[in-house]
Structure 1
Amino acid sequence: MQTVRLHGLLICRDPQEAAIVAAHLPQHIELTRAEPGCISFAVDATEDLLVWTVDEEFEDAASFRAHQARVRDSVWGRATERIEREYTFDGL
């Protein structure tokens, strides 16, 4: 079984989008880390106040896809759906 890794950036256009990320991120991290198959999950601020790094690892493609489905229908997913993401994936 191959793990799935995601690495990339969450890029806000303005301080309002950054405030949305800051407001919803703690719950998003807590819920994701509690998901079955989540090995690691980190979203960290960078020196640029509009950009966060994102690093995720899941046990397999099924657990990663389940995570993606949950996120789409979550408060985080709806609140941040228009924020730019630049991600790369390994293991899919």
Structure 2
Amino acid sequence: MTAPMIRLTGHIDVPSDRREAVAAALPVHITLTRAEPGCLSFDVTQDPVIAGRYNVSELFVDQASFGAHQARASASDWATVTAGIPRHYQITEVPA
């Protein structure tokens, strides 16, 4: 049996005083994540209605690759720029 893929969906609401820094850091975060082994898709887009909200959608081939992403991201500039901003994410397993 093949291990399930890992999907993360949700959003992050960036306070107005931090939006410029987050927007500046986001392209590098996206590029680095999409280059990671096991990343099938990674999209972070501004919500068309709610100011400062970024909708997030990620798909990784398995828990190991998702865990490696989490470890890398938590030690990155992105983690520093977004420190303390609550995330509203749901993580689910998807049959491979």
**TM bucket, shorter chain:** over 0.9
Q: Does 1:85 align with 2:87?
A: yes
What is the distance in 2 between the residues matched to 1:18 and 1:83? 11
TM-score by length of 1: 0.93
Mapped partners of 1:35, 1:81: distance in 2: 22
Unaligned runs of 5+ in 2: none
Moved more, 22-31 or 46-55: 46-55
CA RMSD between the two structures: 1.3
State the structure with more CA Rg: 2
Could you say which residue in structure 1 is the equivalent of 2:38?
37
TM-score when scaled to structure 2? Answer: 0.89
Q: Distance in 1 between matches of 2:51 and 2:28?
A: 20
SS in 2 for 1:91: strand
> Are the equivalent residues in 2 in contact too, given 1:18–1:49 (CA < 8 A)?
no
Partner in structure 1 of residue 21 of structure 2? 20
Cα distance between partner residues in 1 of 2:83 and 2:61: 25
Partner Cα distance (1:66, 1:88) in 2: 18
Work out whether residues 8 and 55 of structure 1, in 8 Å CA contact, stay in contact via their aligned partners in 2: yes
The residue aligned with 2:62 is 60
**Residue by residue, what CA displacement relative to the aligned partner does 1:31-77 show, whole Å, maximum 9, x if unpaired?**
00000000000000012221010000000000000000000100111
Structure 1 regions of 5+ residues with no counterpart? Answer: none
